[in-house]
Structure 1
Amino acid sequence: MAQPKTTATDQILSLNSIEVLYDSVLLAIKGVSIEVPRGGMVALLGSNGAGKSTTLKAISGLLKAERGKVSRGEICFDGKLIGNILPQDRVAMGICHVIEGRRVFEHMTPDENLEAAAPMSMSRQKVNSEKARIYEYFPRLAERKASQSGYLSGGEQQMLAIGRALMTQPRLLMLDEPSLGLAPFLVAEIFGIIQRINKEDGLSVLLVEQNALAALEIVSHGYLIENGRVVMHDSAEALKANSDIQEFYLGGGEGKNFHDIKHYSRRKRWLS
């Protein structure tokens, strides 16, 4: 296996003008550059099909299973270029990707799910202490730890998916649409726990979300991606105050959806 090449960086993660091809034909990501500071929380916002999930898969190395590849640009994690590193080795380096859809082992209990996610080299004592830490963050899971995971609610399954990720002791946690299909009070609870983990453990977080309002409440800054390109990057406060963001992503446009607006592309000032 090729050794990661070391580069100088103050970021835990940086993407430099990456492009992603599917089937060597379809260009899904077009020169995306983003940065996640150490211990920071960053949101990647955008509509369905904008390229958010593809960006995460490029970072975690999961593109190959979908006949995709990074055809151009650099991905740097903790000062090392990781473009040629296998997905499992990226996990060992500290990158954890919670895929959209709450992927848990439904026939197993939450406790068994957490144990299954622990690295093989982790001692029994460490496994138990990590489980206790996760149950402290997610008391709902502690209450249901002996239940079959397939019978957990959607919110509880999302908590379990995040808990499984934490068992790998990541340095960068990437979450793909954790709010999908959840009631607002559950979204607020889960995002509050993510924010707490970030503050208490110093865990870096890259959050992919369509729920821009919820995401911008907990991150320091964000990127807006459309049609495979980053079209805006600013602090969370600046993004929330931006009139275009308010209209098309935060519900400030009286319920309008940008897909329904005939002159949407022409009206967006950041594309002019």
Structure 2
Amino acid sequence: MQNTASQIAPVADTGQPLLELANVEVIYDRVFLAIKGVSLKIHRGQMIALLGSNGAGKSTTLKSISGLLAPERGLVTRGALTFQGKDILPLSPPKRVASGLVHVLEGRRIFEHLSPEDNLLAAYATRGSRQRYQEIKEQVFNYFPRLKERARSKAGYLSGGEQQMLAIGRALMTEPELIMLDEPSLGLSPLLVQEIFEIIREINKEQGVSVLLVEQNAAAALAVVDYAYLLENGHVVMSADAAVMRENPDVQEFYLGGSGKVDYLNVKHYRRRKRWLA
């Protein structure tokens, strides 16, 4: 098995990255080191997945970018974080959104007492014109026709898939350069996951919006993204084009279900195979 360093491939250089993290570390409660020197790049128009098991540091990485660590007593203690060439660490979360960066949190977090239409209005910039609001709203409804059908219903009565569509549509109302999606497949059927991921890819292609996708469903993510990073224990242990990642035997074994024929009696071999994750 090759060592970890040899498996981290650089993203193809296509000019200045839209987003770049350089050796970012995050500590919770001034004690727990959650991510340990994470570096990644996203260029304009790319779709990138951040893969890993529970507790690997995926959501923490997104919150370090969107500025949502403080409510959980988290803090970026080291490293650099730039968006469109500018340091955004000093910026508040609303200012990061205004700069073109939006975070769709795990669990959707929609306003359940409001209608889908009012949810979209709540996300639209107050400085924007009514005409522009109508244009973006119609774009959202074109991507998600079910939301248009349920536009006047209470959002809390929508299905799980419809609520996820609303969360993504609400993010689009900010006219982002980059959308970060945290576990959009959570609790959804495979068919709904496929439908939502296809729409995300369509938005990426038609509008040029970059996407950073955090997923435990590695198979679904690798089917739509261009490039992927794999996190374990707060470290980036592998990065590669999605096609290369899908073919990697360790990724297949531990994240894509493998063949189902692992010989667990051969403990030494098994542990050696997984040593790259340590």
TM-score band, normalised by the shorter chain? over 0.9
Q: 1:122 aligns with which of 113, 123, 128?
A: 128
Report sequence identity in percent. Answer: 62
User: TM-score, normalised on structure 2?
Assistant: 0.90
Shift of 1:65: 1.0
**How has the CA–CA distance of structure 1 residues 73 and 157 changed in structure 2, closer, same or farther, with 3 Å as cutoff?**
same
> Higher relative contact order at CA 8 Å, sep ≥6: structure 1 or structure 2?
2
- Name the CA distance, whole Å, in 2 between partners of 1:266 and 1:55: 28
Shift of 1:81: 1.1
Q: 2:107 aligns with which of 87, 96, 101?
A: 101
**How has the CA–CA distance of structure 1 residues 247 and 91 changed in structure 2, closer, same or farther, with 3 Å as cutoff?**
same
Question: What SS does the corresponding residue of 1:145 show, helix, strand or coil?
Answer: coil
What residue number does 2:12 align with? none
Moved beyond 3 Å, runs of 4+: 261-266, 269-272
What residue number does 1:85 align with? 91
Shift of 1:124: 1.0
- Name the CA distance, whole Å, in 2 between partners of 1:65 and 1:138: 32
Counterpart of 2:29 in structure 1: which amino acid? D
CA RMSD after TM alignment: 1.8
1:135 matches 2:135: no
Shift of 1:265: 5.5
Counterpart of 1:11 in structure 2: which amino acid? P
Question: What SS does the corresponding residue of 1:160 show, helix, strand or coil?
Answer: helix
1:152 matches 2:142: no
**How has the CA–CA distance of structure 1 residues 245 and 44 changed in structure 2, closer, same or farther, with 3 Å as cutoff?**
same
Q: Which runs of 5+ in 1 are unaligned?
A: 1-8
Question: What SS does the corresponding residue of 1:11 show, helix, strand or coil?
Answer: coil
1:217 matches 2:217: no
Shift of 1:268: 2.1
**How has the CA–CA distance of structure 1 residues 253 and 165 changed in structure 2, closer, same or farther, with 3 Å as cutoff?**
same
What residue number does 1:184 align with? 190
Aligned residue pairs: how many? 261
What residue number does 1:3 align with? none
Preserved contact between residue 108 and residue 148 of structure 1 (Cα < 8 Å): yes
Counterpart of 2:55 in structure 1: which amino acid? G
1:13 matches 2:13: no
Preserved contact between residue 232 and residue 277 of structure 2 (Cα < 8 Å): no
Counterpart of 2:218 in structure 1: which amino acid? A
- Name the CA distance, whole Å, in 2 between partners of 1:154 and 1:243: 34
- Name the CA distance, whole Å, in 2 between partners of 1:118 and 1:255: 51
Counterpart of 1:231 in structure 2: which amino acid? V
Shift of 1:266: 3.8
What residue number does 1:42 align with? 48
Shift of 1:72: 0.2
